[in-house]
Structure 1
């Protein structure tokens, strides 16, 4: 099967015709990562002379410096350089899951046009870091997989209308479990569906490094001095956020509910790390990757859902075997806030949520 790769790339054209090229933005990202222009050149394969000329051209284009040079050839980004790099990181965090889904669709279309065998498993799932690992390991295991990132509701809806074989969704532990299950209830079929554990993960507040505004919990999000970035309505994370706000006495339909929204945990983290917000809500892994402070508030379980009739297929059994492997569990357990010790364990839907009224049909 062909492998399609789509990467976000952008440029900036000034009035008068000058253009900031993607290669310079990538160079600035490497300077931020490595702490000097020389080390950025080593990482990119550029000569120091050529890289310095690119920086000078960028300076001339904007009339403002992009780098600050220090003794010993150490470099830091100037404020304008910081803004450009964070714009690039936000674009990447926001668009990469979407582009990966489109790439998977294109792979399927190309395979069909070339009369190649179709994907043996179609997975629609709420985006998560353990799911990324699962996709990588299934591909390494030789599975022809078609996947799409979407909200949990969109995933289970697609599964029940035969648009995919497996849906990925997450449900909070504890007092919010019933509300989490209710979120998906119209598409749940007790006695006909199976759940497979992927991992647990911690969700909470992502805060700028050092927590300069001294945010301590959800109630602080109602403060006028705290800029918040939210999640997209309809997502499982937005449901959990609203439940936690209500618990803290904050109206989810108030100002917090009208904050800017992002569609993934990484995009929320990038938004906060760029300085555009003081706080966001999402999983711990995203916060740590962007070097943010994190206040854990809720643990939830990430599941895969499939029809019982599909569970015994070779493709599904291969997926369950990969999930239950030591390789997957070890990789997922490296993610901050994730616990995959029960990955690959299988439950009937009505048994997984005993006591929540999910009775087997006809029983």
Structure 2
């Protein structure tokens, strides 16, 4: 196989029929050697084959022709002494945070996993991620994130710290031809919606509002058709394929030809597990969130309320 061929984490997930978060977990543990190209992690075919043979318990030879015993445990040296830190979520602020963390901590390698809020918390419970972002509304209490975190991370020692606050609401077509104003208007007969995937914060927000307003999901045409990000939802509305979608303000400004109707301020929080091995970079994380440099960089991006950034909301 040509030496210039390599696999992305998505490729590996498909080939091994596992989740991308499991691939990141293998990289974190050092069981799957990897390297970074831009923001993407890559794996060489030879390293993938070596991992598969080790997983099967087959004796293999290393690149120098020496016999290598089958292994199933972590091999820290495979990451050149750098500890991978998996950061989940899709907001641009997380890419900036990863850059600052890498700059401030010579011993870590930030990895980005673009998954939704609920899947992020589940991945943390399974030990597959280190910093998870979440914006999940509990409709009964009106509280963001904490009710879900407390239920999912039972028995864990963790910290919840705010990253930012941003507006969430509706994307509607230019001129708002259906005069949509609020959640109750989702009951309009024949309304076509562009929806997000299960587990995402926007999907939870929609489902909670449908429940609170007594609207059946089956009433909404397109409810079962899922987009993987806010831009996809906004684009569906802008192109006329949907009448409404739920998302954040920033995507509307990027897509254009769509109007944004703010309906709720959502709190976008970070969750980290408090372990002895994490303590060094947790201290660095808090320092970054409270630094003028990081605040100024995020402040240059419209749509972010940074008034509570770095505030610890819950610590167990």
TM-score range for the pair, normalised by the shorter chain length: 0.5 to 0.7
Check if 1:106 corresponds to 2:42: yes
Residue 281 of structure 1 and its aligned partner are, at CA, apart by: 0.4
Check if 1:121 corresponds to 2:57: no
Retained in 2: the 8 A contact 1:180–1:236?
A: no
Residue 232 of structure 1 and its aligned partner are, at CA, apart by: 1.1
3-state DSSP class of the match of 2:42?
A: helix
What's the TM-score once normalised by structure 1's chain length? 0.59
Residues 333 and 175 (structure 1 numbering): CA distance in 2 closer, same or farther, change over 3 Å? farther
Check if 1:163 corresponds to 2:99: no
CA distance in 2, matches of 1:238, 1:105: 28
Residue 182 (structure 2) aligned to one of 211, 217, 232: 217
Residues 173 and 289 (structure 1 numbering): CA distance in 2 closer, same or farther, change over 3 Å? farther
Retained in 2: the 8 A contact 1:191–1:348?
A: no
Residues 349 and 253 (structure 1 numbering): CA distance in 2 closer, same or farther, change over 3 Å? farther
Retained in 2: the 8 A contact 1:120–1:145?
A: yes
What's the TM-score once normalised by structure 2's chain length? 0.67
Residue 170 (structure 2) aligned to one of 199, 202, 205: 205
For 2:101, the equivalent position in structure 1 comes to: 138
Residue 326 (structure 1) aligned to one of 281, 287, 292: 292
CA distance in 2, matches of 1:349, 1:191: 11
Q: Which has the higher helix share?
A: 1
3-state DSSP class of the match of 2:162?
A: strand
Residue 246 (structure 1) aligned to one of 202, 211, 224: 211
Kindly report which structure 2 residues correspond to 1:206-285, keeping only aligned pairs within 5 A, or say none: 206-255=171-220, 258-285=223-250
Q: Which has the higher strand share?
A: 2
CA distance in 1, matches of 2:96, 2:102: 10
Residue 159 of structure 1 and its aligned partner are, at CA, apart by: 1.8
Q: Which of structures 1 and 2 has the bigger CA Rg?
A: 1
Residue 279 of structure 1 and its aligned partner are, at CA, apart by: 1.3
Note the alpha carbon deviations across 1:101-158, whole angstroms, 9 max, x for none.
99644279899897522334222x2322322332344345565212212122222222
Note the alpha carbon deviations across 1:202-248, whole angstroms, 9 max, x for none.
11001122223322222323324532101112222211111222333
Residues 235 and 348 (structure 1 numbering): CA distance in 2 closer, same or farther, change over 3 Å? same
3-state DSSP class of the match of 2:310?
A: coil
CA distance in 2, matches of 1:205, 1:115: 43
Residues 115 and 251 (structure 1 numbering): CA distance in 2 closer, same or farther, change over 3 Å? closer
3-state DSSP class of the match of 2:198?
A: coil
Residues 270 and 136 (structure 1 numbering): CA distance in 2 closer, same or farther, change over 3 Å? farther
**What are the ranges of 5 or more consecutive residues in structure 2 without an aligned counterpart?**
1-5, 9-35, 49-74
CA distance in 2, matches of 1:216, 1:5: 46
3-state DSSP class of the match of 1:215?
A: coil
CA distance in 1, matches of 2:276, 2:235: 38
3-state DSSP class of the match of 1:300?
A: strand
Residues 106 and 319 (structure 1 numbering): CA distance in 2 closer, same or farther, change over 3 Å? farther
CA distance in 2, matches of 1:231, 1:276: 15
3-state DSSP class of the match of 1:277?
A: coil
Check if 1:287 corresponds to 2:223: no
3-state DSSP class of the match of 1:144?
A: strand
Residues 225 and 188 (structure 1 numbering): CA distance in 2 closer, same or farther, change over 3 Å? same
